[in-house]
Amino acid sequence: MLGRVALVLAADAHVPTGPAEATFPDVPPGHWAYDSVEYAVAHNIVEGYGDGNYHPELTLTRGQMAVFIARAVVDPTGEEGLAGYEPPEPPTFADVAADYWSYAHIEYCAAEGIVAGYPDGTYRPTRSVTRDQMAVYIARAFALAA
């Protein structure tokens, strides 16, 4: 357990302190994830909702997760890094049409070997991402797996 705590503290040490003024009123300075959320905002990985909040309490869908991961691994980060990406036609997954809002992000993550679908050929973008799935996606995205 001590090794895991040391690893988490070492990783947190690489996240710079967030700005003095919060981007989102529902993630103020002092919130346990403030610095990380602000880091992700600064690198164009996450955005808030139309109401101006981040909604840190909401569950993430597989489609949203693909957006975050794709924006995090491209260079430069964010949508700018995906500007030249042309997703394949026909779609890789039977349930993610080319006009689906996160189609390009899902396809990018699939092409990079970060995400995979279910045995029936679907991706299920509206299903909640589980903690174990998220761990696998992060390990694949950042080459953390041996």
In this predicted structure, what is the pLDDT of residue 57?
A: 94
72 with 43: CB under 8 angstroms?
A: yes
Determine contact, residues 115/106, Cβ cutoff 8 Å.
Answer: yes
Amino acid at 126: T
Q: Where are the domains of the chain?
A: 16-58, 59-146
Separation of CA 51 from chain center: 20
Q: What tokens appear for 119 in the block?
A: 């045995």
Start-end of H helices in 1-146: 2-13, 34-42, 62-73, 79-82, 103-111, 131-141
> What does the pLDDT profile of the chain (146 residues) look like in tens digits?
444 434 344 456 778 899 999 999 999 999 999 999 999 999 999 999 999 999 999 999 999 999 999 999 999 999 999 999 999 999 999 999 999 999 999 999 999 999 999 999 999 999 999 988 899 999 999 886 54
Residue 32 makes CB contacts below 8 A (sequence gap 6+) with none
Per-residue b or e along 103-138, where b marks 16 or more CB atoms closer than 10 Å to that residue's CB: bbbbbbbbeeebbebeeeeebbbeeebeeebeebbb
The two tokens of residue 17 are: 């302190």
